[in-house]
A and B are shown apart, each in its own frame.
Chain A
């Protein structure tokens, strides 16, 4: 096991990783930008190194500066968190080349899964169900229109190198496809530096359900249950829960087995997530993509399994055998995560600002992973996630009731935030009944 770790991230996830590392007596180092100097994660690390201005390209996305900081601090390992450099195979390689331990899967696995077209083909070949779609990236709009004839409408247009819903849209006919294609291409180029576009048959009334996997040092892959991430706005998750109310036992068994096959197909090591679309009426699923890192919503899996996924990541990266810890995992109860964002709760527009008041709910079955405290400035440079409010109950109604109480007790002042959205959702029958899909927020608002 290594004795020091650099966390190449910020905000709530940096803090969450620090907590586990410090409990394991691993010395912690963080890098931070000028914009984040006052945030708690900087103060909580054993050592903090300023690496540049607020703009991500000149700080958290600058692989050379992060590596330099790791060398300067004498860190033995690097944990990338999620976002930023977490799924950058070149960075993972550079970390290993510098003689440091990369807390994550091999650069090769990241690369093979990072390209959505490639990942989709790989999964299909491994016997994991995929939606009808293009096996090659689509180069121009006319090729897209031609491919659409075979795949069929409605279609999902997405960046092959993409993630986080950026540039994704649904096209129901040729006119919409032409528009969606151009948007997707511009964004793909800008955000991911790669204009390749993938077309996939869009599944109507689908639930977005993902499986947590863990690749062990001996090559085995285990599945640690699913998370339902169907509550979304702008194709981005807002609320997640486990277990999924739309997945029956027989489907769960098939999904978990497929996720294990997916991990094994790329020799996956460490924590990863296999995202799927589920047709709840048919109890069928298709592979969507694989995230080769710790997932934002990992806490709900931790709440129901009692595992510490970051600890497992660190131990696996440190060469330890963790098979005893995950040998016989039986999830208990029901957990819900709500992503508290600095945004207008009606239009979902970003709302940076200064936090004048910050009081987190506490108590049995409540977990808050936050990145900020009162007095902090939330800048426009990074995503709007302020905190993850997580609750655990004996069953779904219990968890939902606990969520209502926790939302009511959370006090944030000084900037707009989406707590009112949760109050609304937790009183909305399709959500409380569990019978909802990815269109739930749009329908609640229409």
Chain B
């Protein structure tokens, strides 16, 4: 079952740690968002492959926006 990783708040994408095709484990950091002077790591909640990456560094994401898909 694919995991859709979504933003939980309005934020700037500070760092994209993974690339499409990367294999990740549960708990791995995928991207680091920044909002209100705080860094918020977005972590994988399942193991798998990053099949889709929807953000780039410098992007602004809204609450609920898709960040990536892990399959």
Please indicate the chain B residues that have their CB under 8 angstroms from the CB of A234 in the complex.
38
Contact across chains for B9 and A351 when beta carbons are under 8 A apart? yes
How far does the alpha carbon of A352 sit from the alpha carbon of B38 in the complex, in Å?
12
Contact across chains for A352 and B37 when beta carbons are under 8 A apart? no
For residue A186, give the distance in angstroms from its CB to the closest CB of chain B.
10
Interface assignment of A357: CB less than 8 Å from any CB of chain B: no
Please indicate the chain A residues that have their CB under 8 angstroms from the CB of B10 in the complex.
352-353, 379-380
Among residues of B, the one whose C-beta sits closest to the C-beta of A342 is B36
Chain A 346-373 residues near chain B, CB threshold 8 A: 349-353
Interface assignment of A382: CB less than 8 Å from any CB of chain B: yes
Contact across chains for A380 and B8 when beta carbons are under 8 A apart? no
How many of A's residues come within 8 Å of B, CB to CB? 16
User: 1/0 per residue B26-65: CB within 8 Å of A?
Assistant: 0000000011111010000000000000000000100000
Interface assignment of B11: CB less than 8 Å from any CB of chain A: yes
Contact across chains for A382 and B37 when beta carbons are under 8 A apart? yes
Please indicate the chain A residues that have their CB under 8 angstroms from the CB of B38 in the complex.
234, 349-350
Please indicate the chain A residues that have their CB under 8 angstroms from the CB of B34 in the complex.
380
How far does the alpha carbon of A350 sit from the alpha carbon of B11 in the complex, in Å?
9
Interface assignment of A435: CB less than 8 Å from any CB of chain B: no
Q: A379-B10, A380-B9, A380-B11 are in contact. Are A349 and B40 (CB under 8 A)?
A: yes
Among residues of B, the one whose C-beta sits closest to the C-beta of A385 is B36
For residue B27, give the distance in angstroms from its CB to the closest CB of chain A.
16
Please indicate the chain B residues that have their CB under 8 angstroms from the CB of A342 in the complex.
36
Cβ-Cβ contact count across A and B, 8 Å cutoff? 39
How far does the alpha carbon of A353 sit from the alpha carbon of B63 in the complex, in Å?
9
Interface size class of B (residues with CB under 8 A): 10 to 19
How far does the alpha carbon of A34 sit from the alpha carbon of B35 in the complex, in Å?
17
Please indicate the chain A residues that have their CB under 8 angstroms from the CB of B35 in the complex.
350, 352, 380
Contact across chains for A349 and B9 when beta carbons are under 8 A apart? yes
Interface centre among B8, B11, B36 (most CB of A within 10 A): B36
Q: A350-B35, A352-B35 are in contact. Are A380 and B12 (CB under 8 A)?
A: yes
For residue B21, give the distance in angstroms from its CB to the closest CB of chain A.
26
Please indicate the chain B residues that have their CB under 8 angstroms from the CB of A381 in the complex.
12, 36
Among residues of B, the one whose C-beta sits closest to the C-beta of A191 is B37
Please indicate the chain A residues that have their CB under 8 angstroms from the CB of B36 in the complex.
342-343, 350, 352, 380-384
How far does the alpha carbon of A382 sit from the alpha carbon of B36 in the complex, in Å?
5
How far does the alpha carbon of A382 sit from the alpha carbon of B35 in the complex, in Å?
8
Among residues of A, the one whose C-beta sits closest to the C-beta of B34 is A380
Among residues of B, the one whose C-beta sits closest to the C-beta of A384 is B36
How far does the alpha carbon of A282 sit from the alpha carbon of B10 in the complex, in Å?
45
Contact across chains for B8 and A349 when beta carbons are under 8 A apart? yes
How far does the alpha carbon of A349 sit from the alpha carbon of B39 in the complex, in Å?
10
For residue A393, give the distance in angstroms from its CB to the closest CB of chain B.
31
Chain A 311-359 residues near chain B, CB threshold 8 A: 342-343, 349-353
Please indicate the chain A residues that have their CB under 8 angstroms from the CB of B40 in the complex.
349-350
Among residues of B, the one whose C-beta sits closest to the C-beta of A379 is B10
Please indicate the chain B residues that have their CB under 8 angstroms from the CB of A166 in the complex.
37
Please indicate the chain A residues that have their CB under 8 angstroms from the CB of B11 in the complex.
350, 352, 380
Please indicate the chain B residues that have their CB under 8 angstroms from the CB of A379 in the complex.
10
How far does the alpha carbon of A234 sit from the alpha carbon of B12 in the complex, in Å?
20
How far does the alpha carbon of A342 sit from the alpha carbon of B38 in the complex, in Å?
12
User: 1/0 per residue B6-22: CB within 8 Å of A?
Assistant: 00111110000000000
For residue B66, give the distance in angstroms from its CB to the closest CB of chain A.
18
How far does the alpha carbon of A381 sit from the alpha carbon of B38 in the complex, in Å?
10
Residues of A at the B interface (CB closer than 8 Å) are: 164, 166, 234, 342-343, 349-353, 379-384
Known: A349-B8, A380-B60. 11 other contacts (CB 8 A): A164-B37, A342-B36, A349-B9, A349-B38, A350-B9, A352-B10, A352-B36, A353-B10, A380-B36, A381-B12, A382-B37
Residues of B at the A interface (CB closer than 8 Å) are: 8-12, 34-38, 40, 60
**Can you list 27 contacts pairing A with B, beta carbon distance less than 8 Å?**
A166-B37, A234-B38, A342-B36, A343-B36, A349-B8, A349-B9, A349-B38, A349-B40, A350-B9, A350-B11, A350-B35, A350-B38, A351-B9, A352-B9, A352-B10, A352-B11, A379-B10, A380-B10, A380-B11, A380-B12, A380-B34, A380-B60, A381-B36, A382-B36, A382-B37, A383-B36, A383-B37
By Cβ-Cβ distance, the 10 closest A-B pairs, closest first, are A350-B36, A380-B35, A350-B35, A384-B36, A352-B10, A380-B10, A383-B37, A380-B11, A350-B38, A383-B36
